Amino acid sequence: MRFKAILLGLLCGCWLLAFALNVPVVAAQDAAATEAAVAETPAPEPERAEEAEAEAPDTLAALRSGTDILWTCIAAFLVFFMQAGFALVETGFTRAKNACNIIMKNLMDFALGTVVFWLIGFGLMFGAKKAGLIGTDGFLFEASDNFGWAFLLFQTVFCATAATIVSGAMAERTKFTSYLVYTVLITAFVYPIFGGWAWGSLWQGHNGWLSDLGFLDFAGSTVVHSVGGWAALAGAIVLGPRIGKYVNGKVMPIPGHNIPLAALGVFILWLGWFGFNPGSTTAVGDGAFAYIAVTTNIAAACGAIGGTACAWIKFGKPDISFALNGALAGLVGITAGCDCLPVHFAALTGLIAGVLVVLAVVFFDRIRIDDPVGAVSVHGVCGAFGTLAVGLFHKEAGLFTGGGTSQLVTQAIGVGVAFAWAFPLSMLIFLAIKYTVGLRVTAEEEINGLDIFEHGMAAYPPGFVADSISGTPLTPAGMPIGHGLGSPLGSEVAGASS
């Protein structure tokens, strides 16, 4: 009951805060409308005729506006479909006994994120800013035209992407209710405030201080992916590793239960990225989205190649999990510069990101940070690299294209600020949750699976789900045959998989 009360309190608090902040704006708008209505007087008939002729709708302009709205909505729909991709990747790369929990988290972080971002996040991100820092209006967002609604939808699905990245790094040992509390906070404050610094000018010209510096992140390698990745890193550190992941100083594999499911998720994400990157134009314009689609696709392809080659050389086998994460790394890496990198440099960016993600996964394992799906490596590390790649390979301002170091320095500032904002703030949030309502499930719940204990159901027939300790099948009640909840941990936990 305490968890439910906290979550309900957060939602109500966001609602009341947004309403309180929005009241003066609405009142001012109503007053202005009233004054305009009082001041308006009928014009003489000749003048009315002239005005009607001058105000005749520009058919071509209306068509362009409608096309831009349609394109932005279609892109938003594609990005929304990425939520399914994230859910499948995370489910496939983790164990069968936690599949319901994974799906539930990916569903609810989008549901909660949608409401919270509309209530308060959009206003903090795109409202009028003082000193380019935090938005002060636009809460309980109410658009004045149809493009405003399309823009809200597009930004909402981006916010949900940042939130769901955290889920993968914290998989298989996080309390569901505690995860929901964090979801509210990342979508209300962590993501929108930094997003406003870089992207505030996208709506009504309310510039953020990073964009004023000349920081470039076209579709969110840092704004979305690194912010989500650094938040995921904080969560993984505060939670600690899964039981059996590190035994006697050795890294023990805990393989996912369904690689085909993860592969399907990656293909869905690859498709969704054609909304994520090209859709960030939010306009058909001169068709620039076609070029962005090409750079996006070639970076993903080269990322898969880089991940496969690096894993093959390092481990002696072409590991499918690294190939899949290599494709995602290429997509994350090109997201910042998909509009401004030459195609050959887009390919190089994807290739480097594919190699980098393999090395990053190995690095985090060596320092005992357990990330079941490689979310920190894919989104945090490769998002930072992709943002720096703009300073290296930009068509005009890149270091390797004759533009000097100015843009690279600006990009590095943005990457550093994102880490300095998202990581410590998320760390504080997770520590606060840990020492108040609790962040991690009990050992018994982790061993036997979050599906049964958190949600009261299993994703698969009982015989399909094996106990992570002994490999014995679960009974219909969810308890392992021959093992009670207090079963001592044996050495066989290392490397076991459900």
Can you give the residue range of the structural domain that contains 271? 63-434
Q: What is the pLDDT of residue 469?
A: 38
Looking at per-residue confidence, does 265 or 8 come out higher? 265
Please determine, for residue 200, whether its predicted confidence score (pLDDT) is greater than 90. yes
Spatial contact of 372 and 168, defined as CB atoms under 8 Å apart: yes
Q: Assess if residue 465 is contained within a domain.
A: no
What is the predicted pLDDT for the residue at 60? 85
- Please tell me the distance from the alpha carbon of residue 377 to that of residue 362, in angstroms, as a whole number: 9
- Residue 238 resides in a domain: yes
| Each residue's pLDDT tens digit, 16-28 | 555 555 545 444 4
Q: What percent of the chain has pLDDT over 90?
A: 77
Mean pLDDT of the chain: 87
Asked if pLDDT for residue 31 goes beyond 60, the answer is no
Write out the DSSP string of 424-468: HHHHHHHHHHHTTT-SB--HHHHHH-HIIIIIS--SS-GGGSB-T
- pLDDT tens-place string over residues 277-330: 999 999 998 999 999 999 999 999 999 999 999 999 999 999 999 999 999 999
User: Of residues 90 and 467, which shows the higher confidence score?
Assistant: 90
Place 249 in a pLDDT band, splitting at 50, 70 and 90.
Answer: confident
449: left (phi over 0), alpha (psi -120 to 50) or beta: left
* φ and ψ of 282, to 5 deg: 50, 20
Q: State the pLDDT confidence band at 260, using cuts at 50, 70 and 90.
A: very high
Distances (CA, A) of 208 to 97, 177, 215, 360, 387: 44, 33, 10, 31, 17
* Per-residue DSSP letter, 250: E
Number of domains in the chain: 1
Whether residue 128 is contained in a domain is answered as: yes
Do residues 83 and 76 make contact, with C-beta atoms less than 8 angstroms apart?
A: no
What letters, b where the CB count within 10 A reaches 16 and e where it falls short, cover 73-107? Answer: bebbebbbebbbbbbbbbbbbbbbbbbbbbbbbbe
Domain annotation covers residue 364:
yes
Burial class (CB in 10 A: 0-12, 13-18, 19+), 275: buried
Beta-strand pair 246-247/250-251: antiparallel
Q: Which of 321, 329, 300 is nearest to 372 (CA)?
A: 321
Tokens of 80: 């929304």
The verdict on residue 451 lying in a domain is: no
- The answer to the question of residue 148 being in a domain is yes
In a domain? residue 8? no
| CATH assignment of the domain containing 337 | 1.10.3430.10
Highest mean pLDDT among 29-33, 56-60, 477-481: 56-60
Element (H, E) at 269: helix 259-276
Please give the pLDDT value at position 465. 76
Q: Which of 305, 280, 303, 283 is nearest to 292 (CA)?
A: 280
Question: Residue 338 and residue 274: Cα distance in Å, rounded?
Answer: 11
How high is the pLDDT of residue 46? 55
pTM comes to: 0.86
Mean pLDDT across the stretch 471-477? 40
What pLDDT shows up at residue 130?
Answer: 81
Question: What is the average per-residue pLDDT within 63-68?
Answer: 93
Is 270 a residue whose pLDDT tops 50? yes
Neighbours of 116 (CB within 10 A): 27
Q: How far apart are CA 246 and CA 300, in angstroms?
A: 32
395 occurs within a structural domain = yes
Please report the pLDDT score of residue 131 as a whole number. 79
As a residue count, the chain comes to 498
Of the candidates 335, 321, 418, 436, the one whose C-alpha atom is nearest the C-alpha of residue 373 is: 321
